Amino acid sequence: MANFNIDAKEDRTYQAIVIGSGISGSWAAKELCEHGVKTLVLERGKDVKHIKDYPTTNMLPYEFEHRGQITEDVRKENPVVSRCYAFREDAQHFFVKDQEHPYVQEKPFDWIRGYQVGGKSLLWARQVQRWSDFDFEGPARDGFAVDWPIRYKDLASWYSHVEKFAGVSGNKDGLPNLPDGEFLPGYPLNVVEKHFQAQMKKHYGDSRHMILARCAHINGNFDYYAQQGRAKCQSRNLCQRGCPFGGYFSANSSTLPWAEKTGNMTLRPDSVVHSIIYDEEKGKATGVRVVDRLSKEMEEFYADVIFVNAAALNTNLILMNSTSSRFPDGLGNDSGVLGKYVAFHNYRAGVSADHEGHLEYTTQGGRPTSGYFPRFRNVLSQETDFLRGYAAGFSASRGPYADQSGIGMELKENILNPDKWGPWRIGSHMMGETIPKESNYVALDPNLKDEWGIPQLKVNVDYDDNDEKMIKDYLEQMTEMFDKAGFTNIRTRDDHRAPGLDIHEMGGVRMGKDPKTSMLNADNQLHAVPNVYVTDGASMTSTATQNPSLTYMAFAARAAHHAMKNR
Amino acid sequence: MKRRDALRSLALLTGGLVLVPSCDFSEEEILSAYDRLKVSSSMRELLGQITDTIIPSGNLKGASDLDIQDFILVMVNDCMDEDAQKSFMKGFNSFDAYSKDKKGKKFSDLERMEKEEVVQTGLHEESEDKNDLRGFLGTTKRFTIQGFLLSEYMQTEVKSYSLIPGDYQGEVLIESLKKEKLNG
């Protein structure tokens, strides 16, 4: 009775609405709020406050009832999310359980989601490599998808902008296909990784490189990050629990508190976005419809500009569910490409080996990163029978183990004093570029709805022949490189995982020059509804081989400034 | 789930001795905390003796001082699938007969050396009809080692566990490492 005013339209009106509080949405929010824009940030999941809501962050191994393992009940109820490497007893509360938000797998697709304030930025692997023009020019050169409407020069300063604030550790490697950035000091490679680097130089000259992967961890410039309340990464490698030091970049530790400090952000958790409201008379989007996660009641909020950062597939879902007589097939979908040309990263294959040298050495301590191969296939020109190529992770590790063959006092002494040293363990995994195709798509199921009355998403995404050839080449090339480096016991694997488990799904709302064949322009605006920006994975025209989050952050910051300039 | 959690908490407080009547007309009662297994309190005791044989007390506490048998039962009950649980219980139920077969006595009546021999022999059985027994002992040994090393006692009193491992050093000479031998 007393709250008539709350229902007044002006109380529901902001200057900007950002849908999604994860890695890209929080960047849009931070930039907008910092520049005085009253911004409503909508998050479908629960609130997660930095430190306060990291319940497991300082737990010792013995404090987990199953010492980290997921129980059989949870595994059986959640076959999809249980396949994710980070879904363990310490971080399971940050993942969406299979039944919480069902979707339709027309083909197997492991959709890994984090519905909470901060989204998957709490859970990501924190690897941040820049794209180069060898990536942006890929579709045009190789004749797939459509040409990117931008080039590296359009994004370079925004990469710098987000790297500096987020904190990125790395080395200046001087590689044209993996541009250097604003780096804090890098972490050391170990003696065997350096040996491998030297072997690569010897056998491949300047054509292949194994470098330190750049990662979003604070390893320098500490006074600057203290302004955000963040401190040096302690190499705990417990990032998925949320970091009490703010040692790695997450929305929760960095961009969201920064935005909140301005007094311009209204963060609204438990707000499931149903659709975007399009006003035919005004010819623009005017707001969003939100279903309360718990009460299921629908409310509307209004703003001059709307950022859609719901994570790649949910951004597709929201646009497809935003229908009007002007846009019967989804908001801004004059081209008919909405939901199509979805792609991902191919993580199926890996190679491991032993190294019988450097046996007098081991490592100590921890580091939040490892080695990295930038793509070396088809960079300067087409050289294989498949398009594009792959990046790869690389690491060498060693530690003592105990002889556990005995029993009684002998066993006890052995496990208390592990003193056996095997060979160095070498590991690598591929990150392959996949080609966006019309036949890899998401769509709304015509019948099934979720508990908020929103249609369920149908996912139809698969590997193709190009991916199979690329896997074969990765396995061959990595085997050859390992062999040349003198590694032994080389084992290859293809785990045949479904797409999605890479958690790098992209596209469906792609950027392009031509409104007839793309959804977004060079500034991430919907061609047909320019006051709607999409700057998350949905906007990606192609996937390249780099871990994509850094590029989403740069797009979000760049688009936020574009929106403010063109107000 | 709530009821089970409550029983579990109570069970851990009282060392697992929360009893409910069993449904299979046996004289003994089964422990309700492990609702997917049929484990009586005497079986729990037997499992404790096996863990004590695997990691005995000495200068430092051993497995049975730390009630590692309860950790094993939690892991088998919660983290193994139904087939693996069945096989574990089959092996478990056949263990005393195996002991009698090998040494002429049930396990609890054996001397320590004989107990070690029975467990070691069982772990190395190769015949197919001993699969469940071998699997049971293998699982028990694995969880005993894990439960012991990752126990509160080990992580707070013996080898203080640090969540912060220190800066990375990638080229450490093994012979330069300090060796402080722990006397078990």
pLDDT band of residue A561 (cuts 50, 70, 90) is very high
Please report the pLDDT score of residue A567 as a whole number.
81
d(CA B133, CA B125): 8
B162 interface with A at CB cutoff 8 Å: no
Please report the pLDDT score of residue B5 as a whole number.
55
Residue A25: which of A503, A566, A555 has the closest Cα?
Answer: A555
B-chain CB neighbours of A188 within 8 Å are 168-170
Q: How many residues does chain B have?
A: 184
Residue A334 has, within 13 A of its CA and on its CB side, a CA count of: 12
Q: How many helices (H) and strands (E) does chain B have?
A: 7, 3
Residue A215: which of A252, A181, A174 has the closest Cα?
Answer: A181
Please report the pLDDT score of residue B9 as a whole number.
53
Overall average pLDDT of the A505-533 stretch? 98
pLDDT band of residue A7 (cuts 50, 70, 90) is low
* Partner-chain contact A238 B163, CB within 8 Å: yes
Mean pLDDT by 10 residues, chain B (184 residues): 50 47 56 90 97 98 98 98 98 98 97 98 97 98 98 96 95 92 93
Residue A206: which of A380, A431, A371, A355 has the closest Cα?
Answer: A380
| Comma-separated ranges of CATH 3.50.50.60 domains in chain A | 12-155+250-343+438-462+502-567
Residue A200: which of A218, A175, A221, A233 has the closest Cα?
Answer: A175
| For A188, nearest residue in chain B (alpha carbons) | B170
pLDDT above 50 for A1: no
Pairing type for strands A211-212 and A13-19 reads unpaired
Residue A288 has, within 13 A of its CA and on its CB side, a CA count of: 32
- Dihedral sign, Cα of residue A193, residue A199, residue A204, residue A206: positive
Of A63, A66, A421, which is closest to B78 when you measure between CB atoms?
A66
Domain A12-155+250-343+438-462+502-567 annotated CATH 3.40.720.10: no
* Partner-chain contact B165 A189, CB within 8 Å: no
Please report the pLDDT score of residue B14 as a whole number.
47
* Partner-chain contact B54 A407, CB within 8 Å: yes
Q: How far is CA A14 from the centre of its chain?
A: 28
| For A76, nearest residue in chain B (alpha carbons) | B81
Please report the pLDDT score of residue B30 as a whole number.
82
Residue A225 has, within 13 A of its CA and on its CB side, a CA count of: 25
d(CA A176, CA A130): 11
Condensed to tens digits (0 to 9), the pLDDT of residues A9-66 reads 999 999 999 999 999 999 999 999 999 999 999 999 999 999 999 999 999 999 999 9
Residue A491: which of A538, A427, A540 has the closest Cα?
Answer: A427
Q: What are the CA-CA distances from residue A265 to residues A50, A255, A259, A305, B15 (Å)?
A: 16, 11, 6, 14, 52
- Specify the DSSP class assigned to residue B154: I
A-chain CB neighbours of B164 within 8 Å are 234-236
Instruction: State the smallest CA–CA distance between residue A415 and chain B in angstroms.
Output: 8
Return the residue matching tokens 């497809």: A320
Condensed to tens digits (0 to 9), the pLDDT of residues A345-377 reads 999 999 999 999 999 999 999 999 999 999 999
Of A69, A235, A412, which is closest to B58 when you measure between CB atoms?
A412
Residues 36-95, chain B, touching A (beta carbon < 8 A): 53-56, 58, 60, 62, 74-75, 78-81
Residue A269: which of A531, A1, A25 has the closest Cα?
Answer: A25
Overall average pLDDT of the A427-454 stretch? 98
d(CA A155, CA A359): 45
Overall average pLDDT of the A316-326 stretch? 98
For A338, the token pair is 């909405």
Residue A99: which of A115, A116, A123 has the closest Cα?
Answer: A115
ipTM for this model: 0.93
